Amino acid sequence: MEVKYAIYPSLLDAFLRFKRRDDDETFLSLFDKINKVPGEQTEHQLKGIEFEQCVNDLITGHKTGDFSFTLIQNGFYETKNFKFKADVVDKIANKLQYATKQQEYIEAIIPTTVGNIKLYGIVDFSFPEMIVDLKGTSNYKCNKYKDNTQHSTYSLVRNLNGSPIKAFKYIVSDYNKVYQETYIPNDTLHQKLMFTVLEFVSFIEYFKNHITDTKIFGEA
C-alpha cells in the first residue's frame, strides 16, 4: 500500500507546541525535527535516556541475570553519567516487570482524503491491554502529558491492528518521586488526533520547500 505521509507522535507534539508557541518550539526547530537535523544532546535529555536505560536494564536483568551497566552504591544505581535513587528505579521496574514487549515498533496505515498516512513509533512497554510510556523529567506538574499525541496515536494504531488497549499510562519520574497519568482511549481522542494529523499534512505541504528529509513523505 502506497504511503503518502509517514508521521510519528513527537513530530505532531512539536507541531502543536509550535502552534501554541510554548517550550520555545520555533518554526526552525520544528523543521530541524522534521529534517532530522542532529542537535546537541542536553544533559537533561541524557539523564532521561540513562534513567530509562537503568529501568530497562533492571527489568531485563531480572530475566537474564545481566545487570550490564548499573551498580548499587549506597541506595543509588550508578549509570555512565548519573546516579539514580534505587527505590525510585525499583518501584518503576517492579510495576513494569510483566510487560510483554519493550521498545516495540508499531505502525498502521490510515486511508484519508489526502492519501494514505502511516502513523508509527516505538512503544516503551506493551501489555495485552495497555501501553506504558516511561518519562524522566526534571520538572513535573500534574497532567503534564495530557496534550501529548503519544497516547492517542499508539492507542489508535493498536485499535487498527486489532489489539485495542484499555488504557495508556505515562509513568513519570523527576528522579525523586514517581507519578502516573492514565488516559482512556476513545473515538473523540482519535478524531482529534486525525484533525491534528490532517492539519500537519497541510503544514508540510504548504512549507514543502523547507523539507530536506523526505521520509515524512513516505519515502525510504
Partner 1 sequence: MGQSKEAFMEMRESENNKFEQYDTPKKLNLFLQPVEETSVYPIESKTLLTTEKSDLSEIASQIVEAVDDGFADPLDTYIMAKKGSYVFDSIVEAMKGKAKIPEGKNYAKHGCEIREGATGVRYYFESCNDPIWNELNMQMVALKEKLSEREKWLKGFTKTTEVEEIADTDTGEIIQDKRTIHAPVKMGGQSLILTLK
- Helix, strand or coil, per DSSP, at residue 98: coil
CB of 41 to partner 1, least distance (A): 26
Q: How far apart are CA 26 and CA 9, in angstroms?
A: 17
List the beta strands (DSSP E) in the chain: 5-7, 71-73, 76-78, 83-85, 101-112, 115-127, 130-136, 167-173, 178-183
Judged by CB under 8 A, how many residues of this single chain contact partner 1?
A: 25
According to the binding rule CB under 8 A, does residue 27 interact with partner 1?
yes
C-alpha cell at 164: 485495542
Q: x/- contact string, 87-126, with partner 1 (CB under 8 A)?
A: --------------------------xx------------
- Give the residues across from 102 on adjacent strands: 125
Give which of 110, 114, 205 is closest to 152, Cα–Cα.
110
> Per CB under 8 A, which region of 65-73, 150-158, 170-178, 194-202 contacts partner 1?
194-202
CB of 166 to partner 1, least distance (A): 12
CB of 15 to partner 1, least distance (A): 10
φ/ψ of residue 156, rounded to 5: -65, -45
CB of 13 to partner 1, least distance (A): 17
| Footprint of partner 1 (CB under 8 A) | 19, 21, 27, 113-114, 141-143, 146, 181-184, 186, 191-192, 194-196, 198-199, 202-203, 206-207
